[in-house]
Structure 1
Amino acid sequence: MNISRSHPRPSPRRGLRSLQARTRALGLLLLTSLVACGQDEPPSRPSIDESSARELSVGKLVGFTSEDGAHVWRGIPFAQPPIGDLRWRAPRSAKAWAGTLEALEFGSPCIQYAGPAGRSEGLEDSDTLGSEDCLTLNVFAPPSTPENAPTGSHRLPVMLWIHGGGNSIGSALLYDASRLAVSQDVIVVTIHYRLGVFGWFAHDAVAGANATAEDQSGNFGTLDTIAALEWVQEHISDFGGDPERVTVFGESAGGSDTFAMLVSPRAAGLFHRAIVQSGSGDLIKLEAAQNWIDDTESGHVHSSNEVLLALLLADGTAADRDTGRQTITSWTPTQVSDYLRGKTPTELLSLYGGGFGGMYDTPKLIRDGVVLPKLDPRESFSLGAYNAVPVIFGTNRDEVKLFAAFGSKDVARIGIIPLWFKNERMYHLTAEYGTKFWKARGVDEAAAAITSAGRAPAFAYRFDWDEEGKMLWFDLSPLLGAAHAFEIPFVFGGLAFGPVTDNIFPESSRPAARILSDQMMSYWGQFAYTGDPGRGRDGNLPQWKNWGADPGQFLIFDTPADGGLRLSAETLTTQTVLEQIANDDRFETSKERCTVYWDIYRFNGRLSLEEFKTIDGGICKDFEGA
């Protein structure tokens, strides 16, 4: 969407309102990571294209042709609605439908806080958005009639996308995979999966007497993704896809969900390559997901027992913590189950309070020992105890700046609107080390562990593009840089941020950005075909070598103005990042250094409180944040 610049000069008051509106639009779009849609509003209902008619074993369906020329089928159910008694149970196979499904509209997002994304629908941030009946997927494919759809050895590779959003917000509605599918001659599937407390909740009582091991795992959102992969195995051939060449890829929480696919025994054989974009791979212990916060092994503040107690206090069933625990002890498992399943989504979500963009903190990706192993993924990788397929791991050079731009004390703001830097040096330092920890954990240590096991190759990248424009006087390049999620429009080919597209992609940077997007799609497509990104689909790009190859460990994605595509050996570990902080002379005081350590303790989980207080000779023992 082009924003006209040929307006009369506004009055100062009108100019401020215009600045606030446009900057707020930028903030809200970035807060909800609406970077892949390329749409300014929800898409209207398209017209049926009869050439997209397909017949599956569960029923007939018909889709449409997108503006980029792909055949698209939306809102296909891949599991039964997880409502009523199926809340907090493993997904059950979808039932057949009668007649022809007009697959023209997306299924409902899974239930979540409305957050900033809901304001276009007149919702408050704390309102709920979506439905528990949400287990649908969407298929994007190069166009073909039923008669000439690829078959046999001509079937196309499949790429299954897992959206991000902290595993508590987000949906597939934001991602138009048409350009990726058509340009790379692949089939892309995007999915919905249960989020937050509906997707991950481990409590013995809700499983029931006849529960399966999966029902008891608490990993329902993870099992939804596995169910979508099972659907692909059964039905994707009807769309011309090859069930023997399936790539799982996802960003942020979707990247961590991809980590989960790599280590889940239940996902074995359902996919053949994986791409982790900005995923941490951090899974939580079962004890943390279940225990009370005052147990010997402390539970998460929103563990299943703590949630149950909070509900009793909220509705007046219990007057205080002690009587609430006594009530829970006196109830049978059936009473507990009936009570929890009787709560509405609004009642459940009211316990949390939406955080950044509507995200909220609850135990997710639970190391239950059935769906997900008890070990940390990197330990599983190093032991070779994982689904050994080729993997790409990557992060963006300035991941943390997406969050810092709207939350750092080093930026002056009105509300969430950034105005100018208060301390630009510390803004960059804090973002740099937060991002380095992200890379060490989510890329370098993971790729090194897989390489050491020797069962499958690992590849790595860093996304460095930072050629944004301005929001009036504020240069967005230093504020955002190569921020979290900014690689998504390059991977999907949309290069759009809705009403602020001209600010993120000014005319001067757009041609080079388009070339970089084409290069990234080419590598992703080649990886989907062969399990090796190589030189891209056309064979004309620099060779992307696997981790451990000489020279370089990972590929940097950037435009020629900033060095272009190139290999780098600047690898990191948790320990080397801590050493860099200790020896970095850009910090002017111990308090500044401790501020970065404190952020690592709070957000990265790689330091205990005791380690924080004793690190670097104990310089942080009296830090006011602790």
Structure 2
Amino acid sequence: MRGVTGLLAGLVLAACAQDVDGPTAEPATRIVLDGQGATTGYVADTGAHVWLGLPYAAPPVGDLRWRATRPASGWDGERDATRHASRCPQITNVLDEPEGLEPGLLAGEEDCLYLDIYAPPGADELPVMVWIHGGSNVWGRSSEYDGSQLAIDQNVIIVAVQYRLGPLGFMSAPELRADAERPEDRAANFAILDLIESLRWVQAHAEDFGGDAGRVTIFGESAGGHNVAALLTSPLAEGLFHRAIIQSGSAATVTRAEAEGRSGDLANASGEVLGRVVEGPVTAEALRAVSLEDVFAGLDLSGGSHYDMPRMIEDGVTVPEGGIRAALASPGTFNAVPVITGTNRDEMRLFNALNPDLASRTLGLFIRPRDRDYYAALSDYQSAMWTVGAVDDLASVMTAGGHDDVWAYRFDWDEGAANLLVDTRFMLGAAHAMEIPFVFNRFELFGRLDPFLFNDRNAEGRVALARQMGRHWADFARDGDPGGGWERWRDGGARMRFDTPADDGPELVTGRTVVADLADALASDARVDNAERCRIARAMGDRFFGDGASVAERLDCPDA
């Protein structure tokens, strides 16, 4: 797989997906999808049987742009399933450079609702794990992830799915709702509708590729984890999956923000920019007629891969009004399946390493902090806040409401190279997305940094940790319990800390991350001065769990 995130200016990713040009399909890879047709894939070098680019939905083009996802049609003859489908429309970034694509280009096709399947040979009624990729819901594709090793190691089936991104996946405009042909067309989170349709497809065809439709697990990282949380609360997804894993996700949502008959904020997935390029009256037909180039033309690309990051909208169709967090407070208001939620210890070190104000780069590869103490302190508190929102608060909300089947984890592996040239242990540590190679047991993430991160010196420990994590994920998919002594979340906090024996892991640890405690720790942190302390407090966000105040307000920081 290729990681969903990486370092700028030269940290290009190696091509990690399976090369599908070489293998010749074998008879064992032929399957017949009931109601669609026959298709032939290939056998990967791991021994897994692979089918790529299978359509799970009708192309969302023309009059189907910004409508609820429609089922896929069938085909005549034999479908070649040895190549990935085109990515969904997105703006390229440095992670696309290995394919010869410069950052800032519009790439992809609207006809992109396809999925890939990786299965052990002879699969029969095996658990199905549906992977939802990350990328801030504006970038990414299924070809970044090769599930063949996980499928072989753990005897499960992996399905990697694509979904609409950016303004095509999240759009709130009254003209579109007024033109709804069915209730689902009134949604704003079209990406979630895509994922729901993919799960309907899995339910319909699991038996065809050796899966058990009664044991479907959804799992995703970053924006993919956020989408998993949305699916947990979506009434349209009821009964379509049976376990859920949120890796470094979020429960954040926003209400519709529309003013003067138009959406007022493109970052809130609006139609305002589109209205500017429509000649004449702004209607649903006129919006759907806007060229793909013009859909993206008004976006602010200064944020690179995080341009105008779309927000999950409480549209009352895919996500309940009141939001994800409120819905998770009662088993009666969400799809109360067993849940694992977790984060990486140093989530924000990845993003801070990308920030030229915080880190310098030599030859695009050797990264050093501009201020070591400030870099560490900022990353520590920001990462802890991520843990509060994605794990401690989320798990506590669910269990307090009576949903006991919740498990939590923290990923701590940080055994990459540390030398005079590059100190990955400090600059990245257990950074955002670092757990993905361990879950998939495929150690390709940061291209030219891979030899520094994953080398012979740490091979024994990391491979053993990868197999243990994969076993937990697969046992959870099989039985709804990750097993191996991993206890459920409880009031005092209980999470599995994933690390190698060299760093005293894996182990079950207790204790909760509380914002008030973080604020108190920051107030006396000797690594930073008062001005830096307030910059960190403001970077921690504006929500203080407990009394509604922000950390900056608690520390009496002046307004920015």
TM-score interval for Structure 1 and Structure 2 normalised by the shorter chain: over 0.9
Aligned to 2:413: 465
Match for 2:428: what amino acid? Answer: L
List aligned pairs for 1:298-447, cutoff 5 A.
299=265, 303-311=269-277, 331=281, 335-354=282-301, 358-384=305-331, 385-407=333-355, 409-413=357-361, 418-447=366-395
Q: Report Cα offsets for 1:407-456 as digits up to 9, x if no partner.
A: 05232235965543221111010001111110000111111111112234
Q: Secondary structure at the match of 2:456?
A: coil
Q: Secondary structure at the match of 2:23?
A: coil
Aligned to 1:572: 513
Aligned to 1:249: 219
Give the direction of change, closer, same or farther, for the CA distance of 1:23–1:556 in structure 2 (3 Å limit).
Answer: closer
Distance 1:108 1:365 in 2: 24
Aligned to 1:11: none
Is the contact between residue 388 and residue 455 of structure 1 (CA under 8 Å) also seen in structure 2?
A: yes
Is the contact between residue 137 and residue 310 of structure 2 (CA under 8 Å) also seen in structure 1?
A: no
Given the alignment of the two structures, is residue 238 of structure 1 paired with residue 200 of structure 2, yes or no?
Answer: no
Is the contact between residue 64 and residue 71 of structure 1 (CA under 8 Å) also seen in structure 2?
A: yes
Aligned to 2:89: 111
Q: Report Cα offsets for 1:375-410 as digits up to 9, x if no partner.
A: 232221222211000000000000001111110523
Is the contact between residue 128 and residue 346 of structure 1 (CA under 8 Å) also seen in structure 2?
A: yes
Distance 1:405 1:43 in 2: 34
Distance 1:167 1:512 in 2: 33
Match for 1:423: what amino acid? Answer: D
1:522 to 471, 484, 495: 471
Aligned to 2:27: 50
Is the contact between residue 284 and residue 366 of structure 1 (CA under 8 Å) also seen in structure 2?
A: yes
Aligned to 2:502: 561
Given the alignment of the two structures, is residue 171 of structure 1 paired with residue 148 of structure 2, yes or no?
Answer: no
Give the direction of change, closer, same or farther, for the CA distance of 1:336–1:116 in structure 2 (3 Å limit).
Answer: same
List aligned pairs for 1:459-498, cutoff 5 A.
459-470=407-418, 473-497=421-445, 498=447
| TM-score normalised according to structure 2 size | 0.92
Aligned to 2:522: 581
Give the direction of change, closer, same or farther, for the CA distance of 1:588–1:111 in structure 2 (3 Å limit).
Answer: closer
Give the direction of change, closer, same or farther, for the CA distance of 1:448–1:301 in structure 2 (3 Å limit).
Answer: closer
Is the contact between residue 25 and residue 499 of structure 1 (CA under 8 Å) also seen in structure 2?
A: no
Match for 1:593: what amino acid? Answer: R
Distance 1:169 1:466 in 2: 26
Distance 1:415 1:360 in 2: 26
Q: Secondary structure at the match of 1:508?
A: helix
Is the contact between residue 262 and residue 387 of structure 1 (CA under 8 Å) also seen in structure 2?
A: yes
Structure 2, unpaired ranges of 5+: none
Match for 2:505: what amino acid? Answer: G
State the Cα distance separating 1:524 from its structure 2 match.
Answer: 0.5
Aligned to 1:205: 175
Match for 2:294: what amino acid? Answer: E
Give the direction of change, closer, same or farther, for the CA distance of 1:128–1:577 in structure 2 (3 Å limit).
Answer: same
Given the alignment of the two structures, is residue 619 of structure 1 paired with residue 557 of structure 2, yes or no?
Answer: yes
Which segment drifts farther, 75-84 or 277-286?
277-286
Aligned residue pair count: 551
Match for 2:23: what amino acid? Answer: P
Given the alignment of the two structures, is residue 27 of structure 1 paired with residue 5 of structure 2, yes or no?
Answer: no
Distance 1:534 1:163 in 2: 25
Which segment drifts farther, 118-127 or 96-105?
118-127
Give the direction of change, closer, same or farther, for the CA distance of 1:492–1:406 in structure 2 (3 Å limit).
Answer: same
Is the contact between residue 262 and residue 272 of structure 2 (CA under 8 Å) also seen in structure 1?
A: no
Aligned to 2:188: 218
Distance 2:210 2:266 in 1: 45
Distance 2:549 2:260 in 1: 24
Is the contact between residue 203 and residue 240 of structure 2 (CA under 8 Å) also seen in structure 1?
A: yes
Distance 1:484 1:568 in 2: 21
Give the direction of change, closer, same or farther, for the CA distance of 1:203–1:71 in structure 2 (3 Å limit).
Answer: same
Percent identity, please. Answer: 37
Distance 1:196 1:472 in 2: 40
State the Cα distance separating 1:56 from its structure 2 match.
Answer: 1.6
Aligned to 2:102: 124
Q: Report Cα offsets for 1:255-298 as digits up to 9, x if no partner.
A: 00000011000001000000000001212212x3x346999xx7
Distance 2:531 2:9 in 1: 35
Is the contact between residue 83 and residue 133 of structure 1 (CA under 8 Å) also seen in structure 2?
A: yes
Given the alignment of the two structures, is residue 510 of structure 1 paired with residue 464 of structure 2, yes or no?
Answer: no
State the Cα distance separating 1:240 from its structure 2 match.
Answer: 1.1
Is the contact between residue 406 and residue 417 of structure 1 (CA under 8 Å) also seen in structure 2?
A: no
Match for 2:89: what amino acid? Answer: I
Distance 2:248 2:194 in 1: 21
Aligned to 1:596: 536
Q: Secondary structure at the match of 2:475?
A: helix
Distance 1:236 1:436 in 2: 39
State the Cα distance separating 1:588 from its structure 2 match.
Answer: 3.7
Q: Report Cα offsets for 1:189-209 as digits up to 9, x if no partner.
A: 100000010001011212454
Aligned to 2:73: 95
State the Cα distance separating 1:338 from its structure 2 match.
Answer: 2.8
Q: Secondary structure at the match of 1:93?
A: coil
Q: Secondary structure at the match of 1:516?
A: helix
List aligned pairs for 1:268-283, cutoff 5 A.
268-283=238-253
Is the contact between residue 540 and residue 551 of structure 2 (CA under 8 Å) also seen in structure 1?
A: no
Question: RMSD across aligned C-alpha pairs, in angstroms?
Answer: 2.6
State the Cα distance separating 1:177 from its structure 2 match.
Answer: 0.4
State the Cα distance separating 1:563 from its structure 2 match.
Answer: 1.0
State the Cα distance separating 1:307 from its structure 2 match.
Answer: 1.9
Give the direction of change, closer, same or farther, for the CA distance of 1:388–1:419 in structure 2 (3 Å limit).
Answer: closer
Distance 1:606 1:86 in 2: 42
Give the direction of change, closer, same or farther, for the CA distance of 1:342–1:209 in structure 2 (3 Å limit).
Answer: closer
Structure 1, unpaired ranges of 5+: 2-21, 318-326, 536-542
